[in-house]
Structures are given as C-alpha cells and as structure tokens.
Structure 1
C-alpha cells in the first residue's frame, strides 16, 4: 500500500493544484490539518481512501483532532501536532503514540520535514504543500507498507 501524507495546505489554491499529480498513483491520501477544508478539492477524482484531521487553523466540521487508522499490520496516529507542541519538542507526541500503541506517528504544524525512528516508532512530518520551513520549499511524504515488512518512508519536494 502506498500512502501520500500531506499537511498544511492552508486553503491556497496553487498548493492544492500543485499536489494533485503527486497523489495520482497512491492507495490512500492522509491530510494532517491546516487546510482540512481542502481535502475534497485535493482528492477530487481520486479513487482510493482519504482520511483527514483538523489543525489549529481549521474551523470546519467533521474532522477530529487526531485519528488512528490501521493499514495492513501497521497502526497509524494522524494529528496536526499543535496540541502536542511539536514545534518545540517531540517527546509529548512520542508518549501519546506509545500510550495508543501505534507503529507510526504522522503530524504537521511546523512545516518542517522530519522522518525519524525512536523507540520503535516511526515519526513523520511531511512538511507543507503550501510553504515549507526548511530547505525544501513545498513537500509531501510517502509511506509504503507491506504486510510483515519494515515501512518505507520518504519526503518528496513539490516542484
């Protein structure tokens, strides 16, 4: 299963249009908030599964602060990250992931790409499809999950 992980579209049409080609070959699209209202437009015509959570800039109904999904044998926590103070530290979100017994923690908020493994947990922040905070201007993340195998994770810059 190939999963596209996007975050922080911030209702910016150019970002919404730019990411569409990058999700065409995936099975699942995950949006990590700050642009939850953009999910419908981003995934228009997409035939796979779509999940989203809300961020600190989202005021639309229908999206939770966090969501747990199961993909094959992996349990994934999706959240925006603001309620876990991810701009300052990752310990709080790590504790939440351990408490929930997940394998993967996905979060946004900081617009800064991160992929790291700590204490058996995979953490990913895909950056922002609108405007990144690091050397990568705009980005999204991918997860490739196969039953019984280690998860492949990577970030791709949006050109």
Structure 2
C-alpha cells in the first residue's frame, strides 16, 4: 500500500508559522507528498521533503525559486494511476474549470489543484477533480483540510478535516 499526502496553499510563513501536527503525523507515514502550490518559501518544500519524497507545482504567490525548480503543471504516475497537478489560478472560468482544462488533452485519472482553499472532490467526464483545501488558511471553510490517497490493488482518495490546534 502506497500512502500519498496531498496538500495545497500552505502559505507559510504568511498565514501560519508552521505545519499543523495532524499534517506532520500524516507526512511521517507517507510514501510521497504532492503539493499543489502556494508554498511561499523553499523552506516548506524542504520540510515536506524531510518526511517523504515530495513533488508539486508552483502557485500564484510563489517566488521564482519555486517556479524554476518545480514548474506550473505536471503529471505524476503511481502504478498506472495518472495524477495531473496544477495550482488552478488564472483569469476567466472557475478554479475547477481551469484545472480541468489544463489536462483536457491528457489521460489522467485525478486532477489535483488548489488556489481556492475550498475542498473539492467530484467526478467530471470520468476524471476526479480534487482540491485538498488548506491545512493552514481555511478562509471561509468550516475546517482546515488536506488529502490522503492510498494506492494498493485499488485506490482510495479522501479529505482529512480538522480544527485549528491550540
């Protein structure tokens, strides 16, 4: 069984000073971490990479050091499961539509995106659109969140919702 943590919009140190413990605990058990942008600093990348192999994309508030290192979109493959990753920022359309359109010509099973901080999991034209929300900046959402993907003989994708720790 492969465990993948999916996260976006960490915004450290602007919106939070550190990653929440529930996310750290999940990362310590992860085989891989996917980040869908708005890391804000390379230090966040290095922290995730200390727990598990980490990859992702740049967001609209990330500096050039992050953009040059990881790019704006990519496809990751895990045993035949193809995951498109993009932040989802831009003009016109909704964040979901921009994310979907980024991989319209590709064969992907899941599209991971961020930007809106709104947790989403729904199927569109046979593709699962998944926004993990934010573990550090929930904006108007009732809870903070990130995602977990477990891959074995089949795969299961879910959100992990939590309240701010004291």
Match of 1:90 in 2: 96
The one of 130, 133, 145 equivalent to 1:127 is 133
CA contact (8 A) 2:86 2:99 kept: no
* Per-residue Cα deviation, 1:127-154 (whole angstroms, up to 9, x for no partner): 012111443332111112234x3x3111
| Residue 30 of structure 2 is aligned to residue 26 of structure 1 | yes
Give 1:80's match in structure 2, choosing from 82, 87, 91.
Answer: 87
Matched, 1:71 2:78: yes
How far the C-alpha of 1:56 sits from its partner, in A, is: 0.3
**TM-score for both structures, normalised by structure 1:** 0.85
- Normalising by the residue count of structure 2, what TM-score does the alignment of the two structures yield? 0.82
In the alignment, is the contact (CA less than 8 A) between 2:37 and 2:58 conserved in 1?
A: yes
- Unaligned residue ranges in structure 1 (runs of 5+): none
**RMSD in angstroms over aligned alpha carbons?**
2.1
For 2:57, the equivalent position in structure 1 comes to: 53
Structure 1 runs (4+) greater than 4 angstroms displaced? none
The secondary structure found in structure 2 opposite 1:142 is: strand
Structure-2 separation of matches of 1:154 and 1:77: 17
Aligned residues: 154
